[in-house]
Amino acid sequence: MKLRQLGFSVDLSRCVGCRACELACQHKHPDTLHGYRRVRLLSEKSREQGFLTMACNHCVSPECMRVCPVGCYEKHRDGIVLHNSVKCIGCGRCVGACPFHAPVILPRTGKVDKCDFCRERLQAGKMPLCVEACPVEALGVCQIDCDAEIRRDNMVEQYTQPALKFIKGKEPICFWRGEENKNEERK
Amino acid sequence: MRKESKAAALWQEHTPEGKITLARQLTDIEFLLLDDRGDLRCQTAAFPPAQLSLLRNRRQAFIRHDMAVFAQLTIRELEQDDRVLGWLIADCPAEQLKADGLAVLEELSRHMTFLLWHELEIRETQRQHRDPFLYDVLYNNFSSAEEVIRMGRLWKMNFDKPHHVVVVEFDKPLPGDKNDQLLAELDNEWMRVLSARFVQPILMLLRMQLVVLFEENRTPPRSQSELAQIMADAVAKVKQDFPNIPPFSVGIGRLHYSVTEICRSFQEARQALSLGRFRQPENGITCYENLGVLKLLSHIRIEELDDYVQETLGTLIKYDGDNHTDYMHTLEIYFQENESLPQAAERLFIHANTLRNRLRKIETVMGVNLAHSEVRGRYYVACLALRIVRHSI
């Protein structure tokens, strides 16, 4: 079976840390405190720009799905991991388990919610709001050939460790791209 | 009612059940419908039980087209494009059927042929979607358990029973084409080995992994250790039949009782496979339940793990570096072999007394007593953390 897998791509060499993506997400999800996307400041020793924008990475092995006791999470055939708020009991297990802190508990409902890749916008042929809001086009959407790409797992390794939690087993679908990769591509 | 209009009345109903009930009302004849395997599909309420049991007992007669044994019945074979779709049976010998009854029977057989053909087309189309369906089961992508159970029956999968989930993956990345080819061979081998043991093993190739689901039909269900033993036997058989196969590991998820929880079992099996490699890098069989402290360590930041390793084992690592000794490796093997002196000594190719001396030296260097369980626990965790750190950096 040929699987589709949508993912975010982040060009670290372009990101200027303007937080437009964060604000766009917050605008779309006013019930949340900060939206589902975060721009993190990273050590300049390891990152040339020092910013890393991150939302749900729609992992191949979603930790949230493993720990949820009531089966709120589902991964669709396009690879997007969705959360079903109707079933959610607000236990917060997924919040603790996700290495990227993607699920958040909504203060108003006490239930969890997370980035849904702006699914309704994708269906309408538009880009997710965070991608559309990025003024420098650092954030994009990519469709990954799972079978070919996941084995390579180079960029994820290169740009997320050791700054983030141990993630190899989770196989996040997000590629962080920096100057080194650009040079490799040019070759 | 004229015989044409009686037959035309059958259009009022849209299901096989509705049509034979209506035909019964129009003709006072009892009807019965068998599917292409000779199994009962539907019948009218008063169809004689004696005739029904005769049909059941002589099911092979349908396959052989030997209808002489059913002299008291009228049987119409429902056929489309040279393919038998089923049989329509009237509880009345053909010579006793009146003209209007015969007309209704003929019309009913045409209706049933169409309906069974239509159902067959739907089934065949659904069968083509087996892999996407299994993907949906593994990733909880469906609206209700009932829907999955119903759909699963199209492929003879009994999702109303609990299923074990096992994931198999090659330990080292292989070139794309070779990986596909070897996985396909592994798929065949596992299917052959598991079919001898389980009723209906379900195998699927998904993202460079072989996912195996099989039904648990025992009460009480098999424990994970029993399952690990079964898998070990299966692995041994596969390796015996296929000696050149590259090393592969197996991860086993917990048994969850509902189909809605198969997704959890799948993720657990994948995690067991992934984390199990820190214990046994190749040819390992790991149960999720036995991951123990590894499960917790996998959620801790690498920097924190590294700090813990340095705090706990830093002195020993430094001593090894300064004196060109290998005490760290000795300690790791000692824990890997379940603190068994003979087994650890055998693995290190040294005498048990030499190992005992080395452990004493390790205690002196670190200033601890390994006889205390708290100390042993701390160093065991540190050794596991060290493996994760080494693997990650």
CB B375 within 8 A of CB B363: no
For the segment B34-54, the average pLDDT, to the nearest whole number, is 86
CB pairs under 8 A between A and B: 89
Contact between chains at A61 and B132 (C-beta distance less than 8 A): no
CA B210, CA B14: separation in Å to the nearest integer? 43
CA B21, CA B164: separation in Å to the nearest integer? 43
By Cβ distance, the residue of B207, B270, B299 closest to A150 is: B207
Please name the residue of chain B whose CA is at the shortest distance from the CA of residue A82.
B141
Quote the pLDDT of residue A42.
65
Quote the pLDDT of residue A146.
53
B300-335 confidence digits (pLDDT tens): 877 788 889 999 999 999 999 999 899 999 999 998
Q: Within an 8 Å CB–CB cutoff, is residue B274 touching chain A?
A: yes
Residues in contact with A80: Cβ distance below 8 Å, sequence separation at least 6, in sequence order: A6, A58, A116, A117, A119
Kindly indicate the confidence band of residue B286, based on its pLDDT and cuts at 50, 70 and 90: very high
For the segment A45-58, the average pLDDT, to the nearest whole number, is 72
Residues in contact with A82: Cβ distance below 8 Å, sequence separation at least 6, in sequence order: A73, A74, A75, A76, A116, A119
CA B20, CA B14: separation in Å to the nearest integer? 10
The torsion angle over the Cα atoms of residues B97, B103, B106 and B112, rounded to 10 degrees, is -110
Question: Helix or strand or coil: residue B162?
Answer: coil
Best interface-test mutation with B: which of A40, A46, A66, A84 has the largest number of B CBs within 10 A? A66
B188-205 confidence digits (pLDDT tens): 888 888 887 787 889 888
pTM across the whole model: 0.69
CA A11, CA A95: separation in Å to the nearest integer? 27
Which residues are bridge partners to A54 per DSSP? A38
Contact between chains at A71 and B261 (C-beta distance less than 8 A): yes
Residues in contact with A27: Cβ distance below 8 Å, sequence separation at least 6, in sequence order: A35, A129
Quote the pLDDT of residue B336.
84
CA A66, CA A64: separation in Å to the nearest integer? 5
Residues of A in contact with B260 (CB under 8 A): 71
Q: How far is B374 from chain A (nearest CA, A)?
A: 26
Q: Within an 8 Å CB–CB cutoff, is residue A106 touching chain B?
A: no
By Cβ distance, the residue of A66, A68, A71 closest to B271 is: A66
- Cis peptide bond N-terminal to A99, omega within 30: no
Residues of A in contact with B131 (CB under 8 A): 1
Indicate whether A1 pLDDT > 80.
no
For the segment B227-256, the average pLDDT, to the nearest whole number, is 88
CA B378, CA B355: separation in Å to the nearest integer? 20
Best interface-test mutation with B: which of A60, A166, A173 has the largest number of B CBs within 10 A? A166
Transcribe A120-157 into DSSP letters: HHHHTT---HHHHH-TT--EEEEE--HHHHHHH--HHH
Transcribe B163-221 into DSSP letters: EEEEEEEESS---HHHHHHHHHHHHHHHHHHHHTTSSS-EEEEETTEEEEEEE---SSP
Quote the pLDDT of residue A151.
39
Residues of A in contact with B206 (CB under 8 A): 1, 3
Of the given ranges (A26-40, A56-70, A157-171, B84-98), which has the lowest mean pLDDT? A157-171
SS3 content of chain A, % helix, strand, coil (to 5): 30, 20, 55
Q: Within an 8 Å CB–CB cutoff, is residue B261 touching chain A?
A: yes
How many residues can be counted in chain A?
187
- pLDDT-above-90 percentage for chain B: 28
For the segment B261-275, the average pLDDT, to the nearest whole number, is 91
Residues of A in contact with B298 (CB under 8 A): 166, 169
Indicate whether A183 pLDDT > 50.
no
Q: How far is B392 from chain A (nearest CA, A)?
A: 8
Q: B327-336 and B373-392 are packed helices; what angle lies between their axes, rounded to 10 degrees?
A: 110
Kindly indicate the confidence band of residue B275, based on its pLDDT and cuts at 50, 70 and 90: confident
Q: Within an 8 Å CB–CB cutoff, is residue A4 touching chain B?
A: no
By Cβ distance, the residue of B268, B299, B302 closest to A161 is: B302
Q: Measure the N-to-C terminal CA separation of chain A; round to a whole number of Å.
A: 33
Quote the pLDDT of residue A82.
94
Residues in contact with B48: Cβ distance below 8 Å, sequence separation at least 6, in sequence order: B30, B91
Q: Where are the beta strands (DSSP E) in chain B?
A: 31-35, 40-43, 74-80, 83-90, 163-170, 202-206, 209-215, 248-252, 285-287
Question: Helix or strand or coil: residue B32?
Answer: strand
Quote the pLDDT of residue A78.
87
